[in-house]
Amino acid sequence: MVNTNGFAPTTYDADVIVIGAGISGSAAAKSLHDQGVEVLIVEANDRIGGRTWTEPEGMPGGALDKGGMFIGETHKHLIELGTSLGLEMTPSGKPGDDTYMMLGNVHRAPDEKLDPSLLFTAEYEASLEALDALADRVGYEEPWASPDAAELDSKTVATWIEESFEHPEVKRLHTLFVNVFLGADASEVSLLYWAYYVSECEGVAQLMGTRDGAQWAWWVGGAAQVSWRIADAIGREKVLLNWPVTRIAQDDDGITVFSGERSLRARNVIIAMAPIAANQIRFEPALPTSRAQLQARAPMGRYFKIQARYPSTFWVEQGNSGALVDTDDMGVFVLDGTKPMDSLSTLIGFVGGTHYDRWSAKSPEERKRGFIDVLVKAFGPQAAEPSYYHETNWTEQEWARGGPVTYMPTGVMSNFGAALRDPIGRIHFAGTEASYQWSGYMEGGVRAGQKAAAAIAQEILAGSAREGER
């Protein structure tokens, strides 16, 4: 343990307790451990990984990622961390046309581009430029201080879509993007937040690319391995599972973290989870209003991740990439999920927001039929009989509190957004939501975790250097 003389070392179970064994908490713990800072991770769940959730074995066709999975081409912190842990990447995108199911028809889109002869293609392309321009205006460093922040934060994305675009299909496409990327409906999300989200994800092309950008590669063997390997590196005994934090009490000498009757003491704490998850913890003294309000008012999306596995990648043989945008039936966004080493080929569907609400009200059999019907329409009868089918309902995950990411309704970002990142005494905030960029992604989780760790390590190491000089 680092010499913490002056900080009553005997009372500490670790220098730092990291709360949450997702990728962000894991990245924070590894940074601290590498610098000689004693760290413990406490995790509510019975597994490590959080919103990355890999079933490595026993799944027909190969390892199954039930949560985050795609690595972006600019996700440098994640790539560096995973690679340093000995993980290998494999490219994700498949060759071929993307597919759009809209206005009752199936349209193929070579080079990710809609057919220019469609009546609304020109307006659609201009609409994406308009979203990029809005994102540039808001930025990601201090969106709450951007020009017109209050006005943009008083408007929902649905209102902006209605005011800005004419063709109903352009409106439907923008609505679906919010459903898919945030797991919420456009009528629930602040325009300021959506513009910030697009900005912090480097713009529309990076965010939404179906084979490059944020959907560029995967970890061979699954995404949760990043956290598992970190647990191995710092020592599995340093990761306490089934340890839901219920209360955190700060005092002049340290901080005590409670799970019911159990408690641990440290000099600092990193809370590495979404704001709404942190809202289940009681804080003593009470959190400043801005952080308390943020935690209470920024929910997670509502989300299904659905996977159908087949004996062959027949869609690629037909000239289709497997990427599919469906505004007609299920409201699903589909991507190919087949890794070279898999024995079955996978199509992954994402259903969020009001489409989630609609489909969660149906039985699992009806949902499966709905998804398979979309795939048959898009890729033909070979899609009718998957060898394996799996769905993950993220909204039912007690500790994640939904998926894939946090969104903010109107009035939250401009009033309380700054509280996302600021430490409060001995408490530092990580979790992907605290990252300047790629918040909502594994990359953001790694960045926020490493940043919180760097701030604490600097403080602790400076403290021990001062002690050494005396």
Summarize as ranges the residues that interact with ligand FAD (CB under 6 A).
19-25, 42-45, 50-52, 67-70, 244-245, 272-274, 277, 280-281, 303, 305, 394, 399-400, 403-405, 431-432, 440-443, 445
Alpha-carbon distance 196 to 294, whole Å? 16
Q: Which is nearer to ligand FAD, 160 or 399 (CB)?
A: 399
Q: Which is nearer to ligand FAD, 206 or 410 (CB)?
A: 206
Shortest separation between residue 117's beta carbon and ligand FAD, angstroms: 33
HEC secondary structure over 314-330: HHHHCCEEEEEEECCCC
Shortest separation between residue 454's beta carbon and ligand FAD, angstroms: 17
Shortest separation between residue 47's beta carbon and ligand FAD, angstroms: 8
Q: Which is nearer to ligand FAD, 280 or 382 (CB)?
A: 280
Shortest separation between residue 171's beta carbon and ligand FAD, angstroms: 25
Q: Which is nearer to ligand FAD, 349 or 370 (CB)?
A: 349
Residue 380 CB-density burial (10 A; 0-12 exposed, 13-18 middle, 19+ buried):
middle
Q: Which is nearer to ligand FAD, 379 or 441 (CB)?
A: 441
Shortest separation between residue 438's beta carbon and ligand FAD, angstroms: 7
Shortest separation between residue 280's beta carbon and ligand FAD, angstroms: 5
Shortest separation between residue 26's beta carbon and ligand FAD, angstroms: 7
Alpha-carbon distance 85 to 34, whole Å? 13
- Give residue 268's identity as a one-letter amino acid code: N
Alpha-carbon distance 196 to 317, whole Å? 39
Shortest separation between residue 114's beta carbon and ligand FAD, angstroms: 23
Q: Which is nearer to ligand FAD, 218 or 416 (CB)?
A: 218
Q: How many CB atoms lie within 10 A of CB 252?
A: 7
Alpha-carbon distance 69 to 22, whole Å? 13
Shortest separation between residue 146's beta carbon and ligand FAD, angstroms: 23
Alpha-carbon distance 356 to 63, whole Å? 25
> At residue 43, what are phi and psi to the nearest 5 degrees?
-135, 130
Shortest separation between residue 401's beta carbon and ligand FAD, angstroms: 8
Q: Which is nearer to ligand FAD, 109 or 230 (CB)?
A: 230
Q: Which is nearer to ligand FAD, 116 or 286 (CB)?
A: 286
| Interacting residues of 413 by C-beta distance below 8 A, sequence separation 6+ | 143, 144, 149, 153, 190, 192, 193, 196
Q: How many CB atoms lie within 10 A of CB 145?
A: 12
Shortest separation between residue 402's beta carbon and ligand FAD, angstroms: 8
Shortest separation between residue 248's beta carbon and ligand FAD, angstroms: 10
> At residue 394, what are phi and psi to the nearest 5 degrees?
-70, -25
> At residue 345, what are phi and psi to the nearest 5 degrees?
-100, 145
Alpha-carbon distance 463 to 1, whole Å? 13
Q: Which is nearer to ligand FAD, 294 or 400 (CB)?
A: 400
What is the CA angle 78-79-81, rounded to 5? 65
Q: Which is nearer to ligand FAD, 220 or 461 (CB)?
A: 220
Residue matched to tokens 């979203």 = 131
Q: Which is nearer to ligand FAD, 158 or 271 (CB)?
A: 271
Alpha-carbon distance 334 to 401, whole Å? 23
CA dist list (Å): 419 to 92, 285, 294, 340, 434 = 35, 16, 7, 43, 9
H or E element: which one contains 271? strand 262-271
| Interacting residues of 246 by C-beta distance below 8 A, sequence separation 6+ | 258, 259, 260, 280, 281, 282
Residue 57 CB-density burial (10 A; 0-12 exposed, 13-18 middle, 19+ buried):
exposed
Q: Which is nearer to ligand FAD, 23 or 294 (CB)?
A: 23
